[in-house]
Amino acid sequence: MDSLLLRPFSSPPRLSLPAPRAGCCVPSQHFIQKTRNITVRCNVGGVKWDPSDHHLRHSDRKFVPGTSYPCHVNATSGHPFGSQPEAYNPTNSWKSALASVDAFYRFSRPHTVIGTIMSIISVSLLCVESSSDISPVFLTGLLQAVVAALFMNIYIVGLNQVFDIEIDKVNKPNLPLASGEYSLRTGVAIIWTFAAMSFGVAWIVGSLPLFWALFVSFILGTAYSINLPFLRWKRFAVIAALCILAVRAVVVQLAFFLHMQTFVFGRSANLSRPLIFATAFMSFFSVVIALFKDIPDIEGDRIFGIRSFSVRLGQRRVFWICVYLLEMAYSVAVAIGATSSCLWSKFITILGHAILASILWNRARTLDLMNKAAITSFYMFIWKLFYAEYLLIPLVR
**Averaged pLDDT, 145-162:** 97
DSSP state of 247: I
Domain boundary among 268, 298, 333: 268
Q: What is the CATH number of the domain that holds 219?
A: 1.10.357.140
- Do 118 and 221 belong together in one domain? yes
Half-sphere exposure of 371 (CA within 13 A, CB side): 7
DSSP state of 236: B
Instruction: Give the range among 29-33, 101-105, 261-265 with minimum mean pLDDT.
Output: 29-33
pLDDT tens-digit readout, 341-377: 889 999 999 999 999 999 999 999 999 988 888 999 9
C-beta separation of 103 from 176 below 8 A: yes
Domain boundary among 268, 301, 323: 268
**Averaged pLDDT, 188-212:** 97
Residue partners of 355: CB distance under 8 A and separation at least 6: none
What's the pLDDT at 88? Answer: 59
- Do 183 and 286 belong together in one domain? no
Single-letter residue type at 76: T
Task: Determine the Cα–Cα distance for residues 190 and 299; give it in Å rounded to an integer.
Answer: 28
Position 26 confidence tier, pLDDT thresholds 50, 70, 90: very low
Residue 55 β-bridge partners: 50
pLDDT of 63 strictly over 50: no
Mark out the alpha helices in 9-71 (DSSP H runs): 29-35
Residue 227 belongs to what domain range?
A: 104-268
- Do 209 and 345 belong together in one domain? no
